[in-house]
Structure 1
Amino acid sequence: MKRSVARRFPAAAAALVAATSAGVVLAMPPASAAAGAATGYASQNGGTTGGQGGATVRATSGTQIHQALCGRAGSSTPITIQVEGRINHGNTTKVSGDSCETAAGVIELKRISNVTIIGVGSGAVFDQLGIHIRESRNIIIRNVTIQNVKKSGSPTSNGGDAIGMEKNVRNVWVDHATLLASGGESEGFDGLFDMKDNTQYVTLSYSTLRNSGRGGLVGSSESDTSNGFVTYHHNLYQNIDSRTPLLRGGIGHMYNNHYVDVHESGINSRAGAKAKVENNYFKDVHDALGTFYTDEAGYWQVSGNTFDNVTWSAPDEETNPAGPNPTSTTSVGIPYSYRLDQTSCVPGIVSRTAGANTGMRESDGTC
């Protein structure tokens, strides 16, 4: 199953910023922290509001993030945690309390709800430290960089996932994030944005995913098909081997994303999954869409996409590419409203808006 394709993984280039405060400080949320509302599938199932209506706390270390979670009146008490500085293993310890279940060496959001984590000021960089969401709901993560999280080597965190969700997770919105690795599995990394074991109603928007063997998956195996209802829009996938994403079962909606330099396979719909793929721009991509590395078929509905220098494999027992002339094999109904940008404008729009520290700008519908 391993594909031998040359990789080009430069070291992650995110700047490391120093912490600027020594303690957790209560503050009123600035307008930038309050702005924006969940889009896509995260807007369904009751919506995703995170810590809206709760206290706002400042954190400059992982330990302070855990302290903020543990200091709440209860595990569902709303809270917004404004993060600034470099969050790493050296400043992320386990904190105990009735409203939290934390761990050292990872930002642990376990059996909790109604939380927003947002980068402010000079930025928030989670360096070699992942965010793990388990048995939780109504979580928002915005304007953060998460880089070089490893599952092997040293130090390790979160099974090598930048953001990982598992076991009965509901309503997560990740927005204007920068997710980076410096290689693939052989270099110790896993996925940048993974969902498994009954994770539903998730949106990834205006984010950048770079320099990784694996962009992300929905479902950990062909039998893990209880996940789904995931929206990906206005994201940049660049210098990725595969999984942009890998979708096992469930429904995925991908629109207005820019895929650049994808080496092995892109959107991999399999095990009965249905992908609605609209107005995306694929540039220098191999096998942009299809069912790959399995004989358990997935399906897709396509419209308005641009395939620029895209190459396609020949079909075989475990390869069913959608191209070279992609046509729809299913129909997917979308329950929320959204506006499609013109496909030719997508590279420019995404370059201006995606990722952390971009002012959380969004498309205004113009090129």
Structure 2
Amino acid sequence: MKRSFALRFHALLALMAVAVATGVVLSTPEASAAAGSATGYATQNGGTTGGAGGQTVRATTGTAIHAALCDRASDDTPVIIEVEGTINHGNTEKVSGDSCNTAAGVIELKQISNVSIIGVGNGAVFDQLGIHIREASNIIIQNVTVRNVKKSGSPTSNGGDAIGMESDVRNVWVDHVTLEASGGESEGFDGLFDMKNNTQYVTLSYSILRNSGRGGLVGSSESDRSNGFVTYHHNLYENIDSRTPLLRGGTAHIYNNHYVDLHESGINSRAGASARVDNNYFQDSKDVLGTFYTDEAGYWQVNDNVFDNVTWSSPGEDTNPAGPDPQSTTTVSIPYSYSLDDASCVPDVVSETAGANTGLRESDGTC
């Protein structure tokens, strides 16, 4: 049955006052935040509102994004940065100021809070340029594409991560984004969505992650277990080798995602991690859930998932697949409210809603 969808639209302010060489245009101080509201674990710990209530700034270069951060009264003054066009190494320079700590060749959200970065107009593409969130809180990133960020070769940015978070990060909502690479580590790429060194209360929703060796991790090593409380929902993971995600410690809620063409492994819960895995659709993939490449076990609770043409490895010293008949090994309590789509509907739902430039569509709960 054809599905209907509710649409969310970001309210754009058309009044532009001042244009400068960096590509910044300031609008009126009264501004809306990102379309819709945060979901999942990003609603906990005080919630995630980004730059709500702050000034709106239009940026067409990476330098302009940094300037918008640096021009604030303080490092926690709310700001909404509306981005349009292609952001790349050629237009992303370091900007200095008391309210920022930026760098060239990367979008640097460091030692700041209360910021929204939202793609508008004809879209925002961060081309070979990653977004780095460090010692920061209350950040929203919405409706942007980040592609082909490299850690080796040329040019390099953000250690090869499309979006990377590290060092005491709290409350990040990433929504309706497209994160993509053009290969794996041997081609110079790393993770699409990484969290490490005490990053907590994060949600990734209605997004596309594809064509990469590594989808993303939570925890940089078996000893980095200070991360967690992460929600992944209504995302498409496609043509990825592994890490969808890799969990080292912490808690994750993973629901209503569509996984297609995972080559080596999928949700890798290890080193004491706990994952609640609800109503996902796994398709044409291998070892989509379990503990892999370590003997330090992780745990999972599974509910009403679909496994369509999924193959499973035999158990071994460093391989503990959940299948071929996945059963729960723990119980994970979820502290926020949420609505589940039937797993059989997930491929259609996600194809209609996920990614940048889709009108910020969401599921309306019918199938």
Q: CA deviation at 1:34?
A: 4.0
Distance 1:34 1:224, change over 3 A: closer
Q: How does 1:180-195 map to 2 (within 5 A)?
A: 180-195=180-195
**Partner SS for 2:195:** strand
Deviation per residue, 1:177-232 (Å, 9 max, x gap): 00000000000000000000000000000000000000000000000000000000
> Using the alignment, how far apart are the partners of 2:225 and 2:73 within structure 1?
35
User: 1:93 is aligned with what amino acid?
Assistant: E
Q: What is the TM-score when the length of structure 1 is the normalising length?
A: 0.93
Q: CA deviation at 1:31?
A: 9.0
**Cα contact 1:33–1:118 (8 A) shared by 2:** no
Match of 1:300 in 2: 300
Match of 1:130 in 2: 130
Match of 1:197 in 2: 197
Identity of aligned residues (%): 81
Distance 1:175 1:283, change over 3 A: same
Q: How does 1:1-367 map to 2 (within 5 A)?
A: 23-28=23-28, 34-367=34-367
Deviation per residue, 1:282-319 (Å, 9 max, x gap): 00110010000000000000011000000000000100
Q: CA deviation at 1:366?
A: 1.5
Q: CA deviation at 1:29?
A: 8.9
User: 1:250 is aligned with what amino acid?
Assistant: G
User: 1:77 is aligned with what amino acid?
Assistant: T
Deviation per residue, 1:93-140 (Å, 9 max, x gap): 000000000000000000000000000000000000000000000000
> Using the alignment, how far apart are the partners of 2:92 and 2:140 within structure 1?
20
**Partner SS for 2:49:** coil
User: 1:299 is aligned with what amino acid?
Assistant: Y
Deviation per residue, 1:303-341 (Å, 9 max, x gap): 110000000000001000000000000000000000000
Distance 1:290 1:153, change over 3 A: same
> Using the alignment, how far apart are the partners of 1:160 and 1:298 within structure 2?
27
- The CA RMSD measured in Å over matched residues stands at 1.4
User: 1:282 is aligned with what amino acid?
Assistant: F
**Partner SS for 1:64:** helix
> Using the alignment, how far apart are the partners of 1:237 and 1:30 within structure 2?
37
> Using the alignment, how far apart are the partners of 1:120 and 1:294 within structure 2?
43
Deviation per residue, 1:145-185 (Å, 9 max, x gap): 00000000000000000000000000000000000000000
Distance 1:179 1:305, change over 3 A: same
> Using the alignment, how far apart are the partners of 1:304 and 1:316 within structure 2?
26
> Using the alignment, how far apart are the partners of 2:128 and 2:282 within structure 1?
29
Gaps of 5+ in 2: 1-18
User: 2:112 is aligned with what amino acid?
Assistant: I
User: 1:342 is aligned with what amino acid?
Assistant: D
User: 2:325 is aligned with what amino acid?
Assistant: N
Q: CA deviation at 1:32?
A: 8.4
**Partner SS for 1:46:** coil
**Cα contact 1:21–1:60 (8 A) shared by 2:** no
User: 1:357 is aligned with what amino acid?
Assistant: N
The runs of at least 4 aligned residues of structure 1 exceeding 6 Å deviation read 29-32
Distance 1:118 1:224, change over 3 A: same
Match of 1:7 in 2: none
**Cα contact 1:231–1:252 (8 A) shared by 2:** yes
> Using the alignment, how far apart are the partners of 1:344 and 1:111 within structure 2?
42
> Using the alignment, how far apart are the partners of 1:346 and 1:249 within structure 2?
27
**Partner SS for 2:349:** helix
Deviation per residue, 1:3-35 (Å, 9 max, x gap): xxxxxxxxxxxxxxxxx9953111259998642
Match of 2:10 in 1: none
Gaps of 5+ in 1: 1-19
> Using the alignment, how far apart are the partners of 1:30 and 1:204 within structure 2?
27
Q: How many residues align?
A: 348
**Partner SS for 2:41:** helix
User: 1:252 is aligned with what amino acid?
Assistant: A
